[in-house]
Amino acid sequence: YGNDEEFTGVAEPDSSVFPSDTVYPRTPTQRIPNTLKRNSYLQSAISTEQVEQQLQETVDELQKRLETLSDQKQTTTERLAKIQSENTDLKSRLLSLEDRFHDLEGQQARTAQSEQQRYTEYINQKDRTFLQEKEVLQSRINAIEVELKQTHNVNGQMRKDVKELKQKLDDVVFQLRDSQIRCNNLADDNEKLLEQIRLQNEELEAEKLYNTQLAEQLSHPPLSRTYSRTGSILKASEIRIEDLVAELQGLKSENEKLKRENKELRENPVVAGVNEGRHLLASPDTPSFAAELEVLSKDELMKKLKEQFSINDRLREYIERMLTVIIENNPQLLEVTTSSGVSIGFMGMPSINCQQQSSLITTDNKSVVPQNLPSTESIKNDSFSPITTTKEPLVKMNRQLREYIDRLLVRILTNDPDILEKQ
């Protein structure tokens, strides 16, 4: 019946041969006794041949199953060997992957450490740069605050000086108007005197003609007595003519004297007022608003600074309007001639750059010598450079603006004060 030791596994039952074993599968060693028992029960009914045939079939079946199991065992062995080889490969791959994982982990740790170090250095560099920029900005803020305080001081002093100059300008304008009225009155009186002299000359000419006719009549003998009387009349007329001529010469000299006095009246108050204004501006003991500005807050300081900028803008607009009126009515006031006699054009607006080196200020047919006006003896650099907060401080700009206004007012008041009335 075969070797029972080779049956190490569970054989798969064949449903076509043993239908009863499908529910309870048995091993081949258990099926043989059961078959023998069943044959013993049927021994009386079944013949021996049938038993042998049945046994032969059972043996054949068992041999077939044995071969099948052998094949299955071989297949299982091959599969097991294959699985073991695959397991070995997988273990080797696992080891290689673990090694690679450890390598990658170490490399990643080194990369992370280098990146962390690099970012730390970058952050430190940024911090140093930020501190440097902060120091620079703080220094700029301090400089701006100092300049702001100086600007407040200068602007307060400028406001006071402008008020004083405006008051003095009003006084000078009033004096100039009074002088103009006096000049007009003197001119009217002069015209009246000239008219009287002309009438007297006409009377003298008529008397001369009459005397000539009378002398011709007296040349006749009957008129000799009349001639002697007429001679005395002629002498008296000549004496009167001489007196009138002397009076005319006195009136002319008095008129010239009045003209000189009028010119001095026009020049001296302007020069005195401008010199006094410059003395006040240059005096170091003039009061300022520094103490008042120090107690103000930052918002109030900025507000006052904006107000001062607005005042400066209005002042520049006023100067530009004044220059426009001067150019439209009497542009010769702005004409400047150098010492060599070469004209260099007109004086620029406050927003235009130009260099002026002059020794004379020319009018229509007159020239005012700078020595007669001390305030205009130096007219160099008479224009403003562009006002920029980055190149020139506001203090220098305000000083230039004051000097420019002084020179311009002196020229206007000296040559043509009616322009101020038009403005």
Could you read off the pLDDT of 176-189 as tens digits, one per residue?
787 778 777 877 87
345 lies in a domain? yes
Residue 335: strand, helix, or coil: strand
The parent domain of residue 335 ranges over 330-423
- Asked, for residue 416, whether it belongs to a domain, the answer is yes
Answer whether residue 358 is part of any domain.
yes
The pLDDT value recorded for residue 96 is: 92
CB atoms < 10 A from the CB of 290, how many? 13
Q: Output the CA angle 232-235-241, nearest 5 degrees.
A: 145
Quick check: is 404 in a domain? yes
Q: Is residue 18 part of a domain?
A: no
Only one residue has tokens 């006794």, namely 33
Domains held by the chain: number? 1
pLDDT above 70 (res 24)? no
Indicate whether 105 belongs to any domain.
no
Residue 128 belongs to some domain of the structure: no
Closest CA to 31 of 47, 20, 15, 42: 20
Q: What does the angle CA 271 – CA 276 – CA 277 come to, to the nearest 5 degrees?
A: 100
**Residue 41: inside a domain:** no
Q: End-to-end CA distance of the chain, in Å? A: 146
Given the DSSP bridges, would you call strands 335-337 and 360-362 parallel, antiparallel or unpaired?
antiparallel
Coil, helix or strand at residue 283: coil
* pLDDT for 256: 82
205/121 Cα distance (integer angstroms): 116
Q: What is the helix (H) or strand (E) element at residue 344, kind and residue range? A: strand 343-346
**Residue 331: CB partners within 8 Å, gap ≥ 6?**
346
CA–CA gap between residue 330 and residue 408 (Å, rounded)? 13
Least confident interval from 89-103, 230-244, 282-296, 312-326 = 282-296
**Chain-wide mean pLDDT for the chain?**
69
